[in-house]
Amino acid sequence: MTLTLTVSDDVRALAPGFTHVAIEAHGLVNGPSSEAGSALLDDAARRLAVRLDGRAPHEDPHMAAWRETYTAFGSKPSRTRNSAEALAKRALSDAGLPRINLLVDLYNAVSVAHLIPVGGEDIDRIEGGMRLIRATGEEDFVTVAGGEETVEHPDTGEVVWRDDAGVTCRRWNWRQGPRTRLTERTTSGIFLLESLAPMPVAEVMAAAEELAELLAKFSPGADIAVRAPESFV
């Protein structure tokens, strides 16, 4: 059964140049970070350096568009960076990119190489469909702080992804909640690649195809479908 993804009218009004491509995959095999996944992350960092050619990540036109959009819904983009900019900053630092688990490493590598925010959610942990909305401020976001589970609430007007149980990702693609994140036990996942104008839709699709090929390589026999933007509600 295909997971339903919807984008609210007020989000479309806020960011008319927004596009997202989804990859739905079943029969995945996850595990700890591996040498092969680590090599992909290292290669992504090299591709990023070539792409930026000495510029800071936020100077890229696509990242600049995300900063403008974050500002439009009341977030400070220098403090709460979109996921692609945050990863790019890590990739160019001495710390380098984190190694999380194989599936997360794969989508992080594609995110960094293409400078596109990419997220992954465990379909078996999602309740109902996923919706991109502007929050009322009353929604629950279950996260972990100081080693303890805690409930936060998004700001009024903040753009969030949510399902029937609550918020799954705050500030569009800034911070994912632990409830739906990909773990080593994940076998079904939805991967979202999100872009704004001026990035061409063709580039987002190319990144999605690259990620789909990586998923197929590391999970032979998985059922993987790339869902083009026009397939969304």
**Structure confidence by residue, pLDDT tens digits, 92-136:** 999 999 999 999 999 999 999 999 999 999 999 999 999 999 999
* Contact assessment for residue 216 and residue 191, using Cβ atoms and an 8 Å cutoff: no
User: pLDDT: is 148 or 6 the higher one?
Assistant: 6
Closest to 135 (Cα-Cα) out of 79, 67, 74, 63: 74
Confidence at residue 98, expressed as pLDDT on a 0 to 100 scale? 96
**Structure confidence by residue, pLDDT tens digits, 177-226:** 999 999 999 999 999 999 999 999 999 999 999 999 999 999 999 999 99
Q: Indicate if the alpha-carbon torsion angle 57, 61, 64, 66 is positive or negative.
A: negative
Confidence at residue 146, expressed as pLDDT on a 0 to 100 scale? 84
Q: At residue 147, does pLDDT exceed 90?
A: no
| Domains of the chain by residue range | 5-231
Q: At residue 232, does pLDDT exceed 60?
A: no
Q: At residue 233, does pLDDT exceed 50?
A: no
* Residue environment code for 148-169, b if the CB has 16+ CB neighbours within 10 A, otherwise e: eeeeebbeeebbbbbbebbbbb
**Structure confidence by residue, pLDDT tens digits, 15-37:** 999 999 999 999 999 999 999 99
Q: At residue 1, does pLDDT exceed 90?
A: no
**Structure confidence by residue, pLDDT tens digits, 165-174:** 999 999 999 9
pLDDT (average), residues 128-154? 94
Q: How far apart are CA 21 and CA 14, in angstroms?
A: 19
Helix (H, G, I), strand (E, B) or coil at 166: strand
**Structure confidence by residue, pLDDT tens digits, 55-98:** 999 999 999 999 999 999 999 999 999 999 999 999 999 999 99
* Contact assessment for residue 44 and residue 212, using Cβ atoms and an 8 Å cutoff: no
User: pLDDT: is 141 or 144 the higher one?
Assistant: 141
* Contact assessment for residue 170 and residue 156, using Cβ atoms and an 8 Å cutoff: no
Q: At residue 230, does pLDDT exceed 80?
A: no
Q: What does the angle CA 9 – CA 202 – CA 130 come to, to the nearest 5 degrees?
A: 35
Q: Which residue has the tokens 């590598």?
A: 109
Within 10 Å of residue 29's Cβ, how many Cβ atoms? 15
Q: How far apart are CA 100 and CA 108, in angstroms?
A: 10
Whether domain 5-231 has CATH 3.50.40.10: the reply is yes
State both tokens at 145. Answer: 């702080």
Q: What does the angle CA 212 – CA 216 – CA 220 come to, to the nearest 5 degrees?
A: 165
